Structure 1
Amino acid sequence: MTQTVTSLSDPSQPHRLFQPIVKAAGQAIGDYRMIEDGDKVMVCLSGGKDSYTLLDVLLHLQKKAPIDFEIVAVNLDQGQPDFPTEVLPRYLSEIGVPYDILTQDTYSIVKEKTPEGKTTCALCSRLRRGILYAHARQIGASKIALGHHREDLLETLFMNLFFGARLKAMSPKLQSDDGSNVVIRPLVYVPEPQIKAYAAAKGFPIIPCNLCGSQENLQRKVVGEMLEAWEKEHAGRLNNILRGLTRVTPSHLLDRDLFDFATLSAAPAEGDKGFDPEPYAEREFLVDLSELPML
């Protein structure tokens, strides 16, 4: 499908691009009851297109939603080389959003602990998550909002399937192991191309990641390219996969913890003595069963 690109000088363009994003995010928030009256939502702002878009969505809903909730933006400066420390404070001050900037040199730890040639994502995200969870408890945030979108969720699904032999994606709403934090992902229904177009139209001051973003040949990148190719070849396929995750039939999977296969049995009808093969022994079939395809 060809999309007409309007000049970025057109003030209505960001508004038009924003409408499907906020609609999908509002749907996800409602479906999973992500935000409730009186919540204090800590929005994790990395400086990337996804988290900027997430903040815009929540600020819009804060004005329009029939409930009251508080927003505080939080950025973690991880000590990456040449990180522009002034960008986010200036941006957040200009739009009038309360914020906290945390400083923890996890960059050095990740580089020290990760063997040469290995990806840094797992350790980096674990350290970052611990710091953000602790800060959320410190400021009394009832929800932690992350900017993961549709493609992030689907990439995780196939990463777990291909490399971990697990049928597992991302939770739209997740309670931490100790029960003290609730993580929400309001953008899980939103396609990444919509976010890219909106971020470009808004001209967000994007801060690149010099740690994970610089790594080549990541398996996640390969899976992402696979999904992108699928969508180009068969438009709508990714939404079908996403929709499929909401319509799970445990009895048609193989997980014995989800469905009790062991106790399944056919209950004979009253007076039924069971199967008697004798009447069928001499039966002449009209079709050669050997020619039927295997089911």
Structure 2
Amino acid sequence: MNNVQGKLIIIGGAIDRGSFTEVSFDQNVANNLNFFETGILRRIIRESKHGEKSRIEVITTASVIPRQVGPEYIKAFAYLDAKNVGVLYIEKREQTNDPEVIARIQAADVVMFTGGDQLRLTSILGGTKLHDIILDKYKNEDFIYAGTSAGAAAASNNMIYQGSSSEALLKGEVKITSGLSLIQDVIIDTHFVQRGRIGRLFQAVVGNPRTLGIGLGEDTGLLITGEGRMEAIGSGLVILVDGRQIRDTNLTQVDLGKPISINNMVVHVMSMFDTYDLTTREMEIHNSQYSIPLFVPLETDNDDHDPNINADDKE
């Protein structure tokens, strides 16, 4: 990622549940918007090229209710004083060649992909001119790709698109295909803690231990810079699954539908402000209990060690 100029902000989902979709948006918005308090959308605005004046395009392709979801994002950003926001309702591949769509993507400082079905998102946008423009802007410009739920899952080169939580550690239950390839060598799962999807990520990683598994909790995300630094944002947890130290597995020996065993899978848990370096694979806890000295020197009454006492003053 060293040559990338843009940023990724990937979110685990549910930022719009019980928040800006509330009917009391105009009357009692502050009580509904928990993600404003934890700063996910506010952080997107702050990290963008022109702040509140940045051009933001919301893409609802993954959603089955795009005409309902799109306007709610406009309301949410407007509440944060970001009003240069539009919605692109791209529902067919042919729409990606529309000159107006292309012009709007080229002018965008931020694209925000909503939740829904990530396979729908990649099958419609993958390999199109619009996809190429997003990749180029992400690599070469001060540009943000932001995605929640499906929009987050689709950001990597490998993408989980199917697999039940309860059966996730049975061989063959997790389905993986190609994503939009903004980031390599990771695989992202969303709604992670709430839907118990850790088994899905275990299976995805054991199949290729070079891949770092990223599990995003709801109302939680990662800000990923071009230097490969990840920072946890939002109110919940990010689970990282590192398979490079795996010692043994029965993955290739068992039949489809049979349980998978894994020895020595490494798991990290991140919360807000914690960071992780994708190059060194090292994590830093923001508020570590070990960041203060373990031992504090005791004060001494020994005058021999007091530089303020002159030798002539000693009896």
Fold agreement, TM-score > 0.5? no
Larger strand percent: 2
Query: If the TM-score is normalised by the length of the shorter chain, which range does it land in?
Result: 0.3 to 0.5
TM-score (structure 2 length as normaliser): 0.31
Query: Which of the two has higher C-alpha Rg?
Result: 1
Say which structure is richer in helix: 1
